[in-house]
Amino acid sequence: MMSDALSPQPMTPNAPPVQAGPAAGARIIAITSGKGGVGKTFVSANLAAALTRRGQRVLVLDADLGLANLDVVLNLHPKITLHDVFTGKARLDEAVIKAPGGFSVLLAGSGMVEYSRLTPEVRNQFLSVIQALTPQYDVVLLDTGAGISDVVLFSVSLASEVLIVATPEPTSLTDAYAAIKVLAMQQHRQHVRMVINQAARPGDGRAITSQLQQVLDRFVSTQSGRPVRLIHMGDIPADPSVRDAVMRRQLLLLNTPGCPAALAISQLANKIESALLTHAA
C-alpha cells in the first residue's frame, strides 16, 4: 500500500510546476496513435497481460483523461478514478486496482471536459502520480488518447519509449505519420516503435513501416539533423477472435489465448521485454 506522503494533493490554483525527475524502477512506455479506433487500448490491455505472464509487475495508466475507455475493455466498474485523486477525494493507492490478467490499472474518467486541455494543475497532478507510481512497478504502460493534442503529447513526453499503433488504412497511416513527425520535431525522438494492428497478410506491417520510414527520411529530422528511426515491432493479424473478445469485454489472452492475434501480442511482449527491459548488470 502506498503511504499518504506519496499520494498527490488536491489541485490548487497557480500551483508551481512539478519537475519530472528520473523514473526510479519502472520503464514507462507510451502506447499512442495518430487516429482513434485503431485498437490502441486493446493492445495496451493485452500487452499488459502478456508482460505480466512473464513475471513483470505491470501498471496500465489510462492517460486518455477525458475520454477513457480502458474500464470498458476490461469490464471494470471503478468506484474511484484518477479524477478523484486529482481532486483530493481519494488517495492514489485507493484508485489503483487489479485487472483481469493480474496487472494493475489506474482508470481515468470519461466525459471530463476539464481534461480536454493541459492546464498547469493537470500537468502537475499527472506528474505527481507518475513519480509516485514508478518505483512500484517494472513497467508502466500509458494508454494515451489519440492524436497530437497537448494532453496526449505531454503524456507521451513522460515515457522513455513510444509504441505507435496503426492499421493499414490510409487515414490511420497518414495520422500516424503526423504524430511521428510531431514527436520527432517537438520531443526530439530519435526512434519510435510501431505495431500494425488488423494486418491482412504476413509482412504487411514491415512493408508499411518501411514506406513510412522512406517518407520520414525525406521530410522529417530531429533537432540534431538525424532522421527519426521507425522500429517495426510486429503485426497483429485481423482475427475474428478479437471482435468476440471486445464484445465480451474480455482480454483476448484470457478468452482465446491460442488465436493468431493473441499469439502475435505474446510475440510483441517478448520483443518489448527484450528491447526495453533488459538492463545492464
Cell of 173: 497511416
In angstroms, the CA 133 to CA 93 distance is 9
Inform me whether the pLDDT recorded for 9 exceeds 70: no
Residue 45 reports pLDDT greater than 50: yes
Distance of alpha carbon 169 from alpha carbon 198, whole angstroms:
10
What would the pLDDT profile of 121-138 be if each residue is shown by its tens digit? 889 999 999 999 999 999
Q: Which residue has the cell 502506447?
A: 31
Range 233-257 average pLDDT = 95
What residue has cell string 497557480? 14
pLDDT of residue 243: 94
Q: For residue 223, what pLDDT band results from cuts at 50, 70 and 90? A: low
Q: What is the mean pLDDT of residues 272-280?
A: 70
- What average pLDDT score do residues 21-29 get? 69
* CA–CA gap between residue 99 and residue 29 (Å, rounded): 19
pTM score of the predicted model: 0.88
Q: What average pLDDT does the chain have? A: 86
Residues in contact with 214: Cβ distance below 8 Å, sequence separation at least 6, in sequence order: none
pLDDT of 247 over the 70 cut:
yes
Tens-digit pLDDT profile for residues 124-181: 999 999 999 999 999 999 999 999 999 999 999 999 999 999 999 999 999 999 999 9
pLDDT class of 24 with cuts at 50, 70, 90:
low
Write the CB contacts of 271 (distance below 8 Å, at least 6 apart in sequence). Answer: 233, 234
R_g over Cα of the chain: 18
* Choice between 243 and 4, residue whose per-residue pLDDT is larger: 243
Following DSSP, what letter does each residue of the chain receive, concatenated?
Answer: ---GGGSPPPP-TTPPPPPP-PPPSPEEEEEEESSSSSSHHHHHHHHHHHHHHTT--EEEEE---SB--HHHHHT---SS-HHHHHTTSS-HHHHEEE-TTS-EEEPPPBS-GGGSS--HHHHHHHHHHHHHHGGG-SEEEEEEEESS-HHHHHHHHT-SEEEEEE-SSHHHHHHHHHHHHHHHHHS--SEEEEEEEEESSTTHHHHHHHHHHHHHHHH---TTSPPPEEEEEEEEE--HHHHHHHHHT--HHHH-TTSHHHHHHHHHHHHHHHHHS----
Nearest Cα to Cα of residue 74 among 99, 103, 97: 99
Please check the confidence at residue 17 and state whether its pLDDT lies above 70.
no
Domains defined along the chain, listed by start: 23-276 (3.40.50.300)
Task: Using the structure block, give the residue that is written with the C-alpha cell 520527432.
Answer: 184
| Pairing mode of beta strands 191-199, 229-237 | parallel
The pLDDT value recorded for residue 220 is 84
- Please compute the mean of the pLDDT values over residues 189-215 and round it to a whole number: 94
Note the pLDDT tens digit of each residue in 46-82.
999 999 999 999 999 999 886 778 999 999 988 898 8
Tell me which of 224 and 60 has the higher pLDDT: 60
In this predicted structure, the answer to whether residue 16 has a pLDDT above a threshold of 70 is no
Query: How much is the average pLDDT of 106-134?
Result: 82
Q: Which of 94-98, 114-118, 154-158, 246-250 has the lowest mean pLDDT?
A: 114-118
118 confidence band (pLDDT: 50, 70, 90) = confident
